[in-house]
């Protein structure tokens, strides 16, 4: 079942509320801007082909965003405490943090929009970019007040102990 798979990927279905199509095996995550407007979506197919880059029918991931606009996933996780928001590349990276009560946003891109820096400044809190140790991660790092690089694997695939160790730094 699709919900069980998403739960195994640490996604809090109560908080994030994706649209699930069990027959097609597709989860749709809605993307919002800071004004609360729906500006896009990302579809996830657990059995999709990761090499079919942004293919709406065959790819593991397909992202649509209204252009030009800034869209992120995870706005529903933003809250007043703690004073930090984590910035990640993907939904399942951010889900590892939101399941523990932290604010986390996924930019769903390896090349975030320059408008992202202005948008993040509006949040008035410290931004920690949790980056893969690659070229895309180095791009994402530029949008954080601080950057943490995941050296062994990406955050979404990390063990609970590795996530706990990462979060211990930010209390």
CA distance linking residue 69 with residue 108, whole number of Å: 13
CA distance linking residue 85 with residue 47, whole number of Å: 31
DSSP bridge pairs for 104: 86
pLDDT score for 20: 97
pLDDT score for 45: 95
Residue 11 phi/psi, 5-degree rounding, is -90, 125
pLDDT along the chain (171 residues), means of 10: 95 94 96 86 92 81 84 87 88 94 87 81 90 89 93 85 88 60
Element (H, E) at 166: helix 160-168
pLDDT score for 79: 83
Where along the chain do the CATH 3.40.1360.10 domains lie? 75-168
pLDDT score for 171: 60
pTM score of the predicted model: 0.86
pLDDT score for 53: 73
Q: Which residue, 112, 104, 109, is CA-closest to 166? A: 104
Domain spanning 75-168: CATH 3.40.1360.10: yes
């Amino acid at each position: 079942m699709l919900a069980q798979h998403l739960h195994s990927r640490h996604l809090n279905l109560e908080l994030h509320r994706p649209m699930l199509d069990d027959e097609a095996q597709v989860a749709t995550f809605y993307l919002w801007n800071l004004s609360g407007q729906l500006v896009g979506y990302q579809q996830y197919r657990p059995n999709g082909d990761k090499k079919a880059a942004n293919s709406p029918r065959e790819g593991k991931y397909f992202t649509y965003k209204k252009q030009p606009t800034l869209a992120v996933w995870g706005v529903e996780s933003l809250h007043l405490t703690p004073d930090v928001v984590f910035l990640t590349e993907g939904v399942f990276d951010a889900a590892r943090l939101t399941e523990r009560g932290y604010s986390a946003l996924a930019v769903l891109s390896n090349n975030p929009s320059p408008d992202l820096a202005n948008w993040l400044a509006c949040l008035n809190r410290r931004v920690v970019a949790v980056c893969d140790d690659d070229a895309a991660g180095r791009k994402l790092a530029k949008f954080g007040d601080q950057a943490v690089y995941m050296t062994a694997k990406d955050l979404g695939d990390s063990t609970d102990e590795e996530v706990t160790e990462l979060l211990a730094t930010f209390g």
